[in-house]
Structure 1
Amino acid sequence: MTATLQANGRRELHYGNLNDIVTDAESLAAGEYQTLGEWSFGQILEHLAVSLDCSFDGFPFQAPWFLRTLVAPFIKNGFITKPMRAGFKLPANAGALSPGDVSVEEGLSHLKKAVARYETETPNVHHPVFGRMARQEWVSLGLRHAELHMSFVVPFGD
């Protein structure tokens, strides 16, 4: 079992829009916080930013055909509407989504730019598992994804 699966004290989050993620990140960055999982706060922010960017620029990997065609139709709605579970390991061919050392300032700056893209652009690539998705599906998936990762960043005193 990984440290991620064992992390106690995570926050329960529900973001209503992409700007809520930025507001939460800015609030945490302005104070004292701790991370409970394996990634730093900067790495979490960078991962979220890169993931959002991939919805416009494309993903560096694709799930196996049987997952895309046989499994994805049955699990897609759950990923978009329900909280994501911790402990998922990215496949080796998705290494570009695993951030290196990134400062909170760098990660937050990138996240703000990625969120701002949604104000002027519409995602138009295929998701590596779920295929073609509507704009609101991309947004909802991004929100659930951010809720998972940001739950590991806890302000001191909570």
Structure 2
Amino acid sequence: MSTSHRKLHFDRLEEAVAEVERLAKVPVQTTGNFTFPQIVEHLATAFDISSGHQTPPPVPWLIRVVAPLMAKRAAHRPMKPGLKLPQKAQAFFWRDAEQLEDALSQFRTAYERYRSIDTLPRHPLFGNLSREDNEQLQCRHMELHLGFVHPQ
């Protein structure tokens, strides 16, 4: 499968969410390893983790120590594809979503839950993030994954 990737940049989280909604209304093709419904559900999971609604698998202690030192960089620089997750994390973050409408419903609910929280909890990987840094991290994450979704 081709790994062609669209270059995207979102200044605001609302722009990234609008791109999900736009792509949901047109035929798309994905490159890389995941379907569009899987990507949408994955992005919903990221919102739910950031809002404290879901607890991810345990993060190894060394990563918990080092990742907060890289939080600003992760939030403000493009993410690179190709990160290989451990098997348990892979199964948690990438489920077999098949129906786009179900994935979109999860995404919309997770986004609203994320937006409704005044003070976000400590991020399980990057530690204490400001709302702005957390939203920028979400934008970088969405740029990465939505870049593999190509409108037809």
Structure 1 residues without counterparts, runs of 5 or longer: none
Deviation at 1:17, TM superposition (A): 2.2
Q: How does the TM-score come out when normalised to structure 1?
A: 0.84
Q: Is residue 20 of structure 2 the alignment partner of residue 25 of structure 1?
A: yes
Distance 1:66 1:54 in 2: 20
Deviation at 1:118, TM superposition (A): 3.2
Q: How does the TM-score come out when normalised to structure 2?
A: 0.87
Structure 2 residues without counterparts, runs of 5 or longer: none
Q: Which one of 61, 64, 78 corresponds to residue 68 of structure 1?
A: 64
Distance verdict in 2 for CA 1:73–1:132, change over 3 Å: closer
What is the one-letter code of the residue matched to 2:72? N
Q: Is residue 6 of structure 2 the alignment partner of residue 11 of structure 1?
A: yes
Show structure 1 runs of 4+ deviating over 6 A: none
Distance 1:117 1:89 in 2: 28
Q: Which one of 72, 78, 82 corresponds to residue 77 of structure 2?
A: 82
Identity across matched positions, percent? 36
Distance verdict in 2 for CA 1:123–1:108, change over 3 Å: farther
Q: Is residue 64 of structure 2 the alignment partner of residue 96 of structure 1?
A: no
Corresponding residue of 2:149: 153
Corresponding residue of 1:144: 140
Deviation at 1:123, TM superposition (A): 5.2
Tell me the matched-pair count.
Answer: 150
What is the one-letter code of the residue matched to 1:59? T
Aligned to 1:110, the other structure's residue is in SS state helix
2:12–2:139 contact (8 Å) kept in structure 1? yes
Q: CA RMSD in A?
A: 1.9
